[in-house]
Amino acid sequence: MSTSEFNLPDVGEGLTEAEIVAWRVKAGDTVVVNQVLVEIETAKSLVELPSPFAGVVTAILVPEGQTVDVGTPIISVSSDGAPAAPAPAEPTQADLDARGAVSDTAGSISSEEGQGAVLVGYGIKGQVSSRRQRGAVAPAATTPAASARPSSVPAASASTIVAKPPIRKLAKDLGVNLGEVNPTGLAGEITRDDVIRQASQASLFRNIETPAWSSDREERIPVKGVRKAIATAMVSSAFSAPHVSLFVDVDATRTMEFVKRLKNSADFAGVKVSPLLIMAKAMIWAVRRNPTVNAQWTDSEIIVKHYVNFGIAAATPRGLIVPNIKDAQELSIRELASAIEQLTITARDGKTSPADQTGGTITVTNIGVFGMDTGTPILNPGEAGIVALGTIKQKPWVVDGEVRPRFVTTLGASFDHRIVDGDVASRFLADVASIIEEPALLLD
């Protein structure tokens, strides 16, 4: 009998250990190449490990909950009785008819071409794209008749749910049951806003629930995985990089108007648009004018990056992570919106890869979503600048000598004072504020 052992691989840059979170197989199970064997937690993220072997599982060598070093054998698989790959069956006429029906409804059939064997790492991933397909018809503009229809219709039953495939995917990503959503589309279909509204309401109800006191007087949480990595990074950043922080109040009324126009634009149909998108564009624009805020300190030199790997601090059930969008300076505003949306969904699902959490050059933290006005953010290790976007709400504001209600926010920023002098930090934050005050400057 030929038996092979699968050693814990390095799925990140310099990974030294990982925790076995959940086995997806057990002794005696038959597995095929690329079948997910186990879910592990590294210092950066949850990762699914696919099988490099086909055969029968002979033993689970490391139990769930245990942390082991890279290179440690974690499972053994016997090649005896390995399943042979089945030959593709000839499609029947019923299959062809069914495929045609799906094609007519969804507009296209997803392809899985080019997927080969993956022995270690993250497994096979499908192509994710939010770009509009060639020949796609833009949604019709809202008409006066549309505004006159009721704002909602009764929630659809499971058999009468009308929603496009992207909306169904969004609902799945957000954990929304489409049967509980009130559709507001012109033809009774569920729209993107309907799904987001339902998800927000569910989140609100969860947040206002007050759990009962635990019967245990104390809870001890092991310091490992992401929590350990966060603690190490924050201590290193706080005590190695001398922070200097600046704050500025900004009239964001035109940003809110701009966001509203983008939401109503056919070019942005199916893409989430928020003030964070304008904030990201503003920071990328300001980096080009003040490049030293996009730099890294070493003991011998300052490395100024002439590209922007834009980091977004994300609060997840597993803790704070900072995934980044590679070469964000090359993206259009619509492409950036899609990238931010995908980054957020992936982070919330705990599927952010280690590679997506390394190489960042500058970061934004959106504390406004928690109702906070501002804060003093700590630099992401290896970066020289971070900006906190506070809540945007109406406040009295002086305009042309008159007090008027305006949408106002506060920006808080921290910089590595070894690299960024006070004047550069001030100019950078002033540039960001100028875009938030007048997004039309992005068109220059």
Q: 167 near 191, Cβ under 8 Å?
A: yes
- Catalytic residue, chosen from 169, 254, 351, 417, is 417
For residues 44 and 360, what is the distance between their CA atoms, to the nearest angstrom? 14
Q: Angle at the Cα of 129 (from 339 to 383), degrees rounded to 5?
A: 25
Q: 25 near 31, Cβ under 8 Å?
A: yes
Q: Which amino acid is at 162?
A: V
- Sequence-distant (6+) residues with CB within 8 A of 229 are 43, 44
Sheet strands (E) in 122-275? 243-251
Q: Strands 393-399 and 402-416: what pairing?
A: antiparallel
Q: Which amino acid is at 111?
A: S
Q: 268 near 262, Cβ under 8 Å?
A: yes
For residues 324 and 362, what is the distance between their CA atoms, to the nearest angstrom? 9
- Sequence-distant (6+) residues with CB within 8 A of 388 are 364, 365, 366, 367, 374, 375, 376, 377, 411, 412, 413
Closest CA to 171 of 194, 189, 201: 194
Which CA distances in Å does 253 have to 257, 365, 437? 6, 20, 7
For residues 21 and 46, what is the distance between their CA atoms, to the nearest angstrom? 9
Longest dimension (CA), the chain: 87
306 tagged catalytic? no
**185 DSSP assignment:** S
* Residues acting as catalytic residues: 417
